Copies of this chain bind each other. A is one copy, B any other.
Amino acid sequence: MDEKSIKELVDQYLHISFSIERCGGSLIKGQLAEDLTNDQHYMLRYMNKVEVCTSTELAEVFDVKKSAITAIINRLWKKGLIQRSRDENDRRVVYLTLTNVGKELFDETERRIYELVGSFVKQFEQTEIEAFMRTYEKLNQMIIASKEAKVGE
C-alpha cells in the first residue's frame, strides 16, 4: 500500500467514524427514555451486563477518573435507576447494582435499540457484515493494545 492510499484511507476513516459517532449517537439518543443521556445509557448497559460493580471498575472500563463516575452515578441514583450497598467485609467498597426500575427501563430501551441497529444490520449480506465485524474487532484490539503500550511507557 503506498503512502497516498494510506493517507486517503486515514482521511476516509476519520470522516466516516466522526459522522457515525454524531449521527448514530443522535439516533440512539432518540430511542432513550426522555431524561437519559447516551453516557448514562452506556453506564446502565454495563451494569446490566455485569450485574454488580464498583466505581473503581467503572472508572477503568470507561477510562475516566473516579470522580467522573461519582457524578454520573449520583445522577442515575437520583433517578432511582441504581442502588449502592457497602461491602460488609471491606467497608471502603460500595457495590453498584440496577434497581428493578433501572432494569425495566434498560430492557425496554434495549429492545428499541436492537430494532434500530437491527434495521441497519439486516440490510447487509451476512458474509459482508461478518467480515466487517472481524476487521472492526481487529482494529479495536489494535487500539486497545496501543493504548496499553502508551500507559506502560
Contact = CB atoms under 8 A, between A and B. Distances in A.
Q: Determine how many copies of this chain the complex contains.
A: 2
Nearest to A117: B10
Interface in A122-151: 122-124, 126, 128-129, 131-133, 135-140, 142-144, 146-147, 150
Contacts of A7: 114, 118
Q: How large is the interface on A (under 10, 10 to 19, 20 to 34, 35 or more residues)?
A: 35 or more
A59 to B, nearest CB: 12
Contact of A132 (B118, B124, B132, B144): B132
A91 interface: no
B135 A22 contact: no
B117 A13 contact: yes
A129 B63 contact: no
